[in-house]
Structure 1
């Protein structure tokens, strides 16, 4: 671990939803130093403008790992939606070990320990590797992001009051990305409290029919849910040229949601107030907060 008086925290995925919000929650903490990992000098510019230090780190270019990790005490690992996440995570963790990083906060995925949903299980394999390497750790397992109702796959998820999803009438567990980032931030700032913890993050559960009814009440215009077959998602991903080893797993998990064969799909938890001292965002709160975006 670095001998730096102020712990240095590296945020990977700094330009993404969770990474950027985690930085926002840490900015006022004068007891730490934040470093944003970016893939190019161009992506560093917005952070530099805010006075946030940056390093160049490309998950696929291992020559960037050790230089980026030098002097780092704690790291948030956020990988992308490809099967390469397995190789990328192992390589980064191996180099983090060499660099003397002490605490790792890993953004994983939904699921109970015995999950057989493939891409959720991949994240759990990474969790076990973190532990095997001997790091102090905090594992984060967020349920379905509420932000998916704003956009999904680069497209608006709800248009003209029509809610589309691939899960038939399944009830899902939901979490606001900002709440995930708050948990990431406190876990990075206070590893002495949060080390050794696996936090499942899901604080409200509802079907899409129920969500449409909430939107109708809160926005004041009619919303309705029209389920789509998971095959529509699969074809969209093929057409978009997505990485299909990962997206094929997502397709399979949509089918399992729709069939009701994912145990604990609507699990919710009461840990957020204990972790953060605050109340989590519920679905009605989220819809109210983004009412303008949902309006049509």
Structure 2
């Protein structure tokens, strides 16, 4: 049966699409701008144009779907974090049940059951989406992740000019981090496997815990240039985001998430053979960051 992919032009969704096509799976994508899909992908997938927050769009896309990959897109100008995540997901949840979708795999976050989970901004909202999907009765697996290594690509300019990357967390705070390619690989395995039932989660933790100071040392070696981490205040971080056009509510949600991570939000999940994804930070730097910085 057809597998539906949301956010197919994003860094995770695009890799999920390619992974499923490599396996020969039938794929349908929901894309606001189909022109952003490569010609090679467009030739091999069915495209439903529009937003996957639109009831009419998901109604068309989920008809006859055996599985759905669910990823809430970034909405930096949303009026609230709840609206950006839970409100956006409600039409899809109704359509999962209405069309008898076989299974859903979603992108979520670590932290369930921790004291920080209720005050963690985007993470709190992601966990609420998991609950919303699970309540429909559709078999569901939430991929629960720490911070993405790939987010550092956004700081390429600072790494090029000054050899500096910044963040709110203390430089010596150790935590897991994962590569988006490992998230996509986990999603592909679950989407293609029709043998699981019920609601649950799968953590994708990367192979090791590192601090930002550790990362700076590794980047220095891989990039062949000095790199250091600089902690910034929460107020400065929020102001900078709002300066880029992010709404006050969404900037606060991002800051709340960062502060919860500093309090140990991502450290409660034990690393197991199943959750220890293969890509090390050093390997990711060589494969992804170095070409971005040198490009």
Q: Would you call these one fold, judging by a TM-score over 0.5?
A: yes
1:40-55 pair list within 5 angstroms: 40-43=33-36, 46=39, 49-55=42-48
Judge conservation of contact 1:13–1:78 (CA < 8 Å) in 2: yes
Deviation at 1:295?
4.7
Deviations 1:211-250 (A, max 9, x none): 1111222222211122222222211221122133232111
Measured in 1, the distance between the counterparts of 2:260 and 2:96 equals: 36
- Paired position in structure 2 for 1:221: 225
- Paired position in structure 2 for 1:86: 86
SS at match of 1:151: helix
Report the TM-score when normalising by structure 2. 0.86
Judge conservation of contact 2:112–2:127 (CA < 8 Å) in 1: no
Deviation at 1:199?
0.7
Measured in 2, the distance between the counterparts of 1:158 and 1:202 equals: 25
Aligned pair partner of 2:17 in 1, 8, 23: 23
Deviation at 1:272?
4.1
Deviations 1:75-117 (A, max 9, x none): 0110023432211212111012112211011111232333221
Judge conservation of contact 2:204–2:275 (CA < 8 Å) in 1: no
Measured in 1, the distance between the counterparts of 2:27 and 2:266 equals: 36
Deviation at 1:147?
0.5
- Paired position in structure 2 for 1:187: 190
Q: Let me know the Cα RMSD of the aligned residues.
A: 2.4
Mark the CA change 1:272 to 1:22 in structure 2 (over 3 Å): closer, same or farther: farther
SS at match of 1:58: coil
Mark the CA change 1:147 to 1:185 in structure 2 (over 3 Å): closer, same or farther: same
Gaps of 5+ in 2: 76-80
Report the TM-score when normalising by structure 1. 0.85
Measured in 2, the distance between the counterparts of 1:266 and 1:211 equals: 21
Gaps of 5+ in 1: 1-6
Judge conservation of contact 1:22–1:184 (CA < 8 Å) in 2: yes
